[in-house]
Structure formats: C-alpha cells, structure tokens
Amino acid sequence: MKTSLLFAALVIASMAIARAADKPLLAVSGKVIYENKLETAPAAPWKTAKGDWAAANGVMRGSEKPEDKHGAVTRLPNKLPDFIIEYEFKFEGAKSTSLSINAVKDHMARIMITPKFVTVQRDDNDHDGPDKAIVFARLAADFAPGTWHKVRMEMVGDTMLGQVDDLTAWGSSDLFKQDRMAPGFTVGGQSVDFRNLKICEATLNPDWEAVKATLPKPGEKVAAPAAKPAGKKKNAQ
C-alpha cells in the first residue's frame, strides 16, 4: 500500500513539474516551422561550415576540428519570424556549445553554454567595428558530461529569452527587430550531442509582464567567466 501511495505521489509530482515547464514565458508557441529528432548527421537543408558533424548512438554529434582553428558550426538557412526554438544537448568532452542566431550580416544573439556557465547575450554585430556584445545574464551552472539538458530560445519583437533547464534570462535590443537568419549550433572542442530540435512560430505571451517580474533584470546576474589560458585562440562562431 505504501509503495502504491509513493508511486502515485511521484507521478503527481512529475506531472506538476511538466505542467510548470510548459507554462509560457516570453512567447506562446504556434505553427511548427521545423522539427527534427537529430538522429543522423546534418543533411540538406543544413549547411555545415566547420567541424565534424556525424550520427553517434542515435543522435547528432558535433566536434571541433583542430585544423579548422574555429569552433564547429552547422546552421539551417531559415529566415525566422517571432519564434521559439527548443532542443536537448549533452556534453561529451567539449568545452562549450551555443545556439546562435544570425542577422542578415553578422551575428545577432546566442545562448552560450559551458559546463559551468550559461550566457544569454546580444551578439557583436560587426566584429571589427564599434558594436559590442551585450551580456544579458551569465548564470552559474554545473553540466556533468553525459547528462541531457534542455535549451529554449524565444524571440518576439525586440526581446529574446534564453533558458537552459531552469536557468532563465532575457534582454531587449533593436537588433532583434531585424531579419533573424540561420539558426544553428556551435561546438568548441570535442564533442557535444544534440537531439529533439523543434522550431515554432510564436506570439507574445499576454502574461509576459508578470513573468518578466519574476526573472533577473538584464545585466543583474553576470557571473565572472573563467579566465582564458594565455595564448588561447578566440573562436568567432
């Protein structure tokens, strides 16, 4: 009897967690734009610029090639409306991975993930020009190798939200009102596994102001990143 009651309690708790995870944040999901379980190496319409991308144990694995002197990158050629992107990843030895969105020219935004940090940012949009990246939040994390984690990026109008598991941050920029192009994954080092990618159209959550009040303000949570070893290259991904 006690076993049955315990099982029932666990089921109820898991259902409550699932419902909480499904609550809208910045956006409410709409029509599915693209969906892929990522069980194979990336094929058309994916465009692989750098690195080694292959199937590994039923999922897609990305690895940096040392000779590239650049992180591994694979992207979809899609132009996106307001959107929600979701997928899962796990570290298999790599030092970093990101979900990256481009503008028509250069980068727009990303969720950068290392085993110890999640960074949600507006990207540097001109590299050598006056523009600079803006970090909305850098949150301490602890992602053990071989464990799956869920990533979610939402963008509506001039606002983006990034979430990895329960680590959540947001920020706004006029850059986000430009065309959003070429969503993709990057990997620094070897390797990261990916699965269950889904991209949906989105509309603004009517309760966004209430949700926003529960989240850190942009720039409020910016943990210091680990120092880079002397002489290490900087990947432009």
Q: Could you give phi then psi for residue 115, rounded to 5 degrees?
A: -60, -20
What pLDDT sits at residue 75?
98
Domain range annotation of the chain: 25-222
Q: Could you tell me which residues are beta bridge partners of residue 185? A: 74, 99
Q: What is Dmax (Cα atoms) for the chain? A: 69
Q: Is the CATH number 2.60.120.560 carried by domain 25-222?
A: yes
- What's this model's pTM, rounded to 2 decimal places? 0.86
Q: Could you give phi then psi for residue 12, rounded to 5 degrees?
A: -60, -45
pLDDT tens series, the chain, 237 aa: 444 444 444 334 444 334 445 689 999 999 999 999 999 999 999 999 899 999 999 999 999 999 999 999 999 999 999 999 999 999 999 999 999 999 988 999 999 999 999 999 999 998 777 889 999 999 999 999 999 999 999 999 999 999 999 999 999 999 999 999 999 999 999 999 999 999 999 999 999 999 999 999 999 999 876 665 544 444 445
What pLDDT sits at residue 47?
97
Q: 146: exposed, middle or buried (C-beta count within 10 Å: 0-12, 13-18, 19+)?
A: exposed
What is the full DSSP assignment across 118-135?
Answer: EEEEEPPSSTTSS---EE
What pLDDT sits at residue 232?
42
What pLDDT sits at residue 222?
93
What pLDDT sits at residue 16?
39
What pLDDT sits at residue 227?
60
> How far is Cα 142 from Cα 148, in angstroms, rounded to an integer?
12
Q: Could you give phi then psi for residue 219, rounded to 5 degrees?
A: 85, -10
What pLDDT sits at residue 166?
97
**DSSP character at residue 26:** S
Q: Which two tokens stand for residue 222?
A: 């910016």
